[in-house]
Amino acid sequence: MHRLRNQRIINSEIAFWRNVLQRLISITLFLAKNNLAFRGSSDKLFTDHNGNFLCLVELLGKYDDVMRKHLKRGVRKEVKDHYCSKRIKNELLDIMASKVLKNILMRLCKAKFYSVIVDCTSDISHIEQMSLTVRFVDDSDDQIKVKEHCFNPVDDSTRKGLTELFRNILNENKIMLEHCGGQGYDNGANMKAKHSGVQARILALNPRAFFVPCGCHSLNRVVSDAALSSLDSVTLFGLLQKIYILFSASTIRWKVLTNNVRKLTVKPLSDTHWESRMDSVKTVRFQVTDIYDALMELAQLSKADAGVRHEAQSLANQITDFKFLVSLVVWHNISFQINIVSKTLQNKSVDIVTATSLMKGCIQLFVGYRDNGFENAIIAAKEMAADLVLSLPSRRSVFVKERGS
């Protein structure tokens, strides 16, 4: 009888600890899935700033009998380990990560052939981070889907170093290089160089690993270089950035802007994200009169210092220049078309045939733009100038010469 009773106690304890672990694993999965931080400044239960993990454990203890009992045991020190320490959290994450990786590799092995996408960037601590993505056809759920999964190592960013790191990742995970059917990188010299880049080194090991540069990166580089090749374009985007910096520098100036511009507010530019230029151009293209009014109001604002008022007046004068208006219309037409292509290229379901067709159509549109695009841009710029003249009679003389030419 005593043996049976002891066995029931043991079985009850086993069931209890299994239930505790199930709840801790569920909390861990929730935080990992939503990319939330686990720890706070404290690692103790029922203390301030002890992090999301322990806070969720405490919250669950209010409504769940198993977790409530577990927390009481921990607080009363009836058990030595409560499984809520940072060491246990790390172990749970490592176990889950290994299970996920094992599942990915199993499906990759079943698919056999794959392609790779490699990208490098520096994090907030200026350490180079490389993500390697494998892309393969997955039919494990009786549905044929293209899946992408990432590995995130950190190491040497030289051409040789990246190649060795790439090969080490494949070897560690027992992924056969000879089954690689494609490579996709950005336009960095380390990756795409014809003779000594990563793609050339991988091609030397596997001639079937065909290299395809990233279409969005290529498009971004072409347009960025085109914008930098023209003095008028540099002046345009520099002026748009100055307008954003002026208004965003304080809440009072931003209030002046929003009082005059009811729809789209000015946007900052980005060196790597071309779409930001589209947003910046679009705002001023269709609200140039409102932007002018905001600048003039700021130039006459008694609360602002003399430097800010002078800059606002100077920017207001510059956006009324006819050459600026023409450049604004031209670059809006160009960036609008490029944005359509860029958005489509980023779609997960787009294929190389569709991408090629879009790029050809974009090229044809720009070739045709040389014939009648600039004439239409001048007409649109004159309409913008006319709106400025009608709303601001004192500026009429600025446009008389241009409209009469």
pLDDT at 259: 92
The four Cα atoms 115, 121, 127, 133 give a dihedral, to 10 degrees, of -20
In which band, very low, low, confident or very high, does the pLDDT at 167 lie, cut at 50, 70 and 90? confident
Interval 334-375: pLDDT, tens: 888 888 888 887 787 788 788 888 888 888 888 888 888 888
In which band, very low, low, confident or very high, does the pLDDT at 316 lie, cut at 50, 70 and 90? very high
Handedness of CA 33, 37, 42, 46 (dihedral sign): negative
Cα angle, residue 272 at apex, residues 266 and 273 outer, rounded to 5° = 45
Q: What are phi and psi of 117, to 5 degrees?
A: -125, 125
pLDDT at 66: 92
* Residue ranges of the chain that CATH labels 3.30.420: 111-213
- CB of 214 closer than 8 Å to CB of 186: yes
- CB of 214 closer than 8 Å to CB of 185: yes
- CB of 65 closer than 8 Å to CB of 73: no
Interval 257-310: pLDDT, tens: 999 998 888 888 876 666 677 888 999 999 999 999 999 999 999 888 999 999
How far apart, in Å, are the Cα atoms of 392 and each of 322, 385, 397, 403? Answer: 15, 10, 11, 16
The stretches of 207-305 forming alpha helices (DSSP H) are: 215-228, 231-248, 251-260, 275-285, 288-299
How far apart, in Å, are the Cα atoms of 298 and each of 259, 303, 305, 347, 395? Answer: 11, 9, 10, 42, 17
pLDDT at 252: 92
- Helix %, strand %, coil % of the chain (to 5): 65, 10, 25
pLDDT at 399: 42
Do the bridges between strand 145-151 and strand 128-138 make them parallel or antiparallel, or are there none, so unpaired?
Answer: antiparallel
Token pair of 371 as six digits = 């014939």
Residue among 402, 349, 350 nearest 379 (CA): 402
What 136-143 contacts at long range (C-beta under 8 Å, 24+ apart), as own/partner pairs, is: 136/107, 136/108, 136/111, 137/111, 137/113, 138/107, 138/111, 139/111, 140/107, 140/110
CATH (one of 2.40.128, 1.10.860, 3.30.420, 3.30.1120) for 111-213: 3.30.420
DSSP H or E segment with residue 119: strand 114-122
What single DSSP character describes residue 369?
A: I
pLDDT at 296: 92
Residue with tokens 């769940």: 64
Count other C-beta atoms under 10 Å from residue 317's C-beta.
Answer: 15
- CB of 74 closer than 8 Å to CB of 82: yes
Interval 58-109: pLDDT, tens: 999 999 999 999 998 888 887 777 788 888 888 888 998 899 889 988 989 8
Residue among 109, 210, 113, 202 nearest 162 (CA): 202
